Structure formats: C-alpha cells, structure tokens
A and B are shown apart, each in its own frame.
Chain A
Amino acid sequence: MRIYIDRLLAVLLVLGLWNFLSLSYGSDAVAAPMATWQRLVMLISTGFIGPHLNFTLSSWIVSVLLAGVVGLSIGLLLGLHRASGLVFEPLIIAVSSLPKVTLYPMVLLICGLGQSSKIAFGFIHGVLPIMLFTLGAAREIPLHYVKTARTLGLNRVATLRRVMLPAMASGIVSGMRLGASLALLGVIIGEMFGAQQGLGFLLMNAIDINDTAQMAAVALILIFLALALNALVRLLIYMVDRHALRSFTQLFAS
C-alpha cells in the first residue's frame, strides 16, 4: 500500500516541478502540464496522431523482426564457433558503443528518405545487442548439456531446438528486450531527420515551429510508448521463457 502512495507522491512531485518550471520560464519555453494534457487529448481525439503512430510502430515492428532474425542467427554462429566469436566480439562491442546517429546520413544516402531508412536505422540499433547477448549465451552453454544430448541420440537439429536454444533462452531474452527498446529509439531518431511522418517527425516539426505544447505532448507519448512496449516485450518474453524452460525440464526429466 505504502509503495503506491510513494509512487503517487513521486508523480505529483514531478508534475509540481514541471509546473514550476513552466511558470517561471513562461509557456514559450516550457508548456504547462495542463496545456500539454489538452494538446495530448486533442492530438488523439482528432485522430491526428494515428498515421504517425502507425508509421512509427510499423517501422519498429519490421526492424525488430529483421534485427531478431539476423542477430540471433549471427550471434548463434559466432557463439558456437569459438574462434570467430573471439575475433568478432570486440568489433561488435566497438560498433555498438558508437554514437550511431553520426552514421545516419550514410543510411539516408544508401536507403533514401523513405521508410526503409528508418527501418534500417532501427535495425542497426537493435541488431547489435541481440547479437552480443546471443553470442554470450551460446558460448556459455555447459558442455555437458551438449554431450548429454549426443548420448541421448539427438541429431543436430533436435539438439539445437531442444537443448541449446532453451539453455540460451534467458540470454536471448535479455538481448531481445534491449534490442527491441533500442530499435524503437533508432526508428524515432531516424524519423527526426528527413521524414514526413512518424512521432519523431512530429517532435522535430514542433521544434521547428517552436510549439512547446506539441513538443511536450509528443515527448510524453514517446516516453509512454517506450515504457509500454518495454512492458509488452517483457510479458511476451516471460511467456516464451516459461515455455522454453518447460520443454527443457521435460527433456531432461524424461
């Protein structure tokens, strides 16, 4: 019970601080919480936000799917082949610690101004953590799991499906969660430059015309969207994880 009161107090504190900032700097600098709320309601009730939200979400889904497939397969290969894993891992870490926004002009030049450049940029953000986590998870599969599977007479495909993937589940899961979140960031950053649609575009547009209420409203939408998607991915992963764990324990119990 107390924790809910504490959370409520924290939210009120943030709102109070926000209102104070708005009052002391004027609404030309920071829109008041109330004005932001009204703008938010307007954006949603007039259906103005719909196509933009749709654009962002569809780019995100495609980029997560691509990043998942590519990241998992490359991560798995690099994790199972020790030498190539040791060669490539530092390179992947180096690339993922880059400020990738500086590479965006290159993506724009190669993919053009359309949706594909946003998907590509989301993909770049998402694929690296998935690859790194999968690599780590594959490398850390205990050797006796694989040996036991061989003794039990499982072929390669069955070993991969029934033993290795479930054993890697928690690593893959962490990678997918991080990758999905970062892909959304990538898509939004991509939309801020050279786009005509999307939430990132709305934010950039608000900056250009100095519409503070819209800036705050879009920022709020982005933050809630990120948190909601994070929670959704967490839920999905929880379900998959439990399933994987079950099949895993079944195999070794039998």
Chain B
Amino acid sequence: MSARSSLSYDGIRLLLISSFLFLLELVCQLGWVQSQVMVPPTVMVHTLWKLLHSDAMVADIAVTFGAAFQALVIAVVLGMVLGWLMHRWSRLRDVVYPVMSSWYSIPVFALYPMLIAFMGLNQRPVIAIGVLMAFAAMALNTLRGLQSIPTVLNKSARIMGVSHFSFLLRVQLPAILPSLMTGFKMAATYAFIGVIMAEFILSPRGLGHAISFAYNDFDTRTMYALMLLVILVSASVQWVLIQIERRVLAHRATLGSV
C-alpha cells in the first residue's frame, strides 16, 4: 500500500515539475521575459547537449568532480578522526565542540583568499574550502554516534575480552553506521557546494568558474545550461546517497537480527 502511494506521490511530483517547465517554456517563448534574463528550458537542454560535446567543458566538469571527491575523502577521514578524538578526550571535546556545533554559521569562504595566497591559484585551495565546509558535519555525527552507543555494548565487549582494535572495528563502527551515513550525506553535499562556490569566487577552472565566466560574458544560454547541469548533478548525487544509505542500513539490519 505504501509503495503504491509513494509511487503516486512521485507521479504528482513529476507532473508538477513538468508543468512548471512547460510554463517556463511558454513564458519565455511568448516573449514575456527577455531572453537576457531567462531562456526556455528546451534551449537550456539543447545548449547543454552542445556543451557536453566540447572537450574544454568536459575537462571543467572533471576538474570540479575531482576536487569535490578529494575534498569529501579528506573531510570524511578528518571528521571521523576528530569525532573519535572528541569522544575519547573530553578536554578536547569541551573546547572544540562549541566551535563545531556553530561551524555551519561561519563563512569559511572568507578564508578562501588567504588560502589562495599561500597555496597558489590552483585546485588545492578549492579542495581546502570543500574540506572546511564538510568536515564539521562528519565530526559532529561521528561524535553523536559514539556518544549514543548503549553502555551495554561497551560492557559486554569488555566482558568478552575484545581487544581495543577489534572493539573499534567490530563494535563501535557498526554501531555508529547510521550516524556516519548521515554525516557522509551532509559532508558530500557541503563538499560539492564548497568546491563550486570557491570556483565561482575565484578559480581558473571548473564548473563554478565556467558559470561565473558565462555570466560576465553575457552568455545567458551557457549560464543556464550549466546551472541545469549543476541541478541535475546535485539531484542525482542526492539520489545515489539515499540509495547507498538504504543499502548500508538494510545490510546492517540483517546483521543485527542474526
């Protein structure tokens, strides 16, 4: 029953999106908005199709994805280590936790110019901004997971004489998997946002740079085509992450029931 109703909600959503696109198309084609302000969706798709055939654009896209991926990996590792350290060492937690919990409000991109100044105008400061945007969510969720492990797990592991390392790997890690997944999802979103933003502000390459270049060049078609690309990519990344989460958690549930 729930599958059917969720299917119909998907249908309504699809209908809404397509009628919105149709309206946009209509408004643009009728000339109610100027072509410098908005271009019809069909033109966006057509321009995007052409752009995807140019090597320069594909290279830009690859640069952005490479940077976002590296930022994500670094942020996840850094966040997990920091979260674990905060869990183990309450003095560190007392100092760092307040900063982490209001980290989202800190404009980290304000540090971007300084990062460029000492890392150079290349991909490294871009990746650094992605890491800075993403690591706090990972650290907070790791800590949250570790703090909420039931004491009974810790105690029974100790009674069974589990070694330190295998306690970390076989008790703590599976127990905090849902929290890690939440953190990972947030970190992936933030890393992507950070990388695109850094490229948009100042960078010689990448998708963000291409959009800002098109804007400054009054190339509205390219600009909207690239925005469409970012929207599509962002939505599909979200979708993939939700699927991964579902898989991971389903796997965990079967393990737990054994």
By a beta-carbon cutoff of 8 Å, the part of chain A in contact with chain B is 2-3, 6-7, 10, 21, 25, 28-30, 83, 86-87, 90-91, 93-94, 97-106, 108-110, 178, 181-182, 184-185, 188-189, 192-193, 203-204, 206-207, 210, 212, 215-216, 218-219, 222-223, 226-227, 229-230
Q: Please, how many angstroms separate the alpha-carbon atoms of A152 and B112 in the complex?
A: 58
Docked complex Cα distance between A102 and B235 (Å):
14
Is there a chain A Cβ closer than 8 Å to B234's Cβ?
A: yes
B196 contacts A101, C-beta separation under 8 Å: yes
CB distance from A53 to the nearest CB of B (A): 14
Question: Contacts A7-B95, A192-B201, A219-B111 hold; do A101 and B208 have CB atoms under 8 A apart?
Answer: yes
5 example contacts (A-B, Cβ-Cβ < 8 A) are as follows A25-B117, A30-B118, A99-B197, A106-B227, A227-B102
Q: Which of A3, A86, A103 contacts B227 (CB 8 A)?
A: A103
Q: Please classify the interface of chain A as helix (H, G, I), strand (E, B), loop, or mixed, using the class held by over half of its residues.
A: helix
B60 to chain A: closest CB distance in Å? 13
| Chain A residues closer than 8 Å to B17, beta-carbon distance | 91
Chain A residues whose CB sits within 8 angstroms of the CB of B231 once the complex forms? 98
Contact B36 A2 (CB under 8 A): no
CB contacts (< 8 Å) of A105 on chain B: these are: 211-212, 214-215, 223, 227
> B55 contacts the other chain (Cβ, under 8 Å)?
no
**CB distance A216 to B201 under 8 Å?**
no
A214 CB, nearest partner CB in chain B, Å: 10
* Contacting residues, chain B, for A223 (C-beta < 8 A): 106-107, 110
Query: Which residue of chain A has its CB nearest to the CB of B12?
Result: A87
Residue of B nearest to A86 (CB): B9
Complex-state Cα separation, A150 to B197, whole angstroms: 50
Contacts A226-B105, A230-B102 known; A6 to B13 CB distance under 8 Å?
no
What is the 8 Å Cβ interface bit string for chain B, positions 117-135, against chain A (1 contact, 0 not)?
A: 1100000000000000000
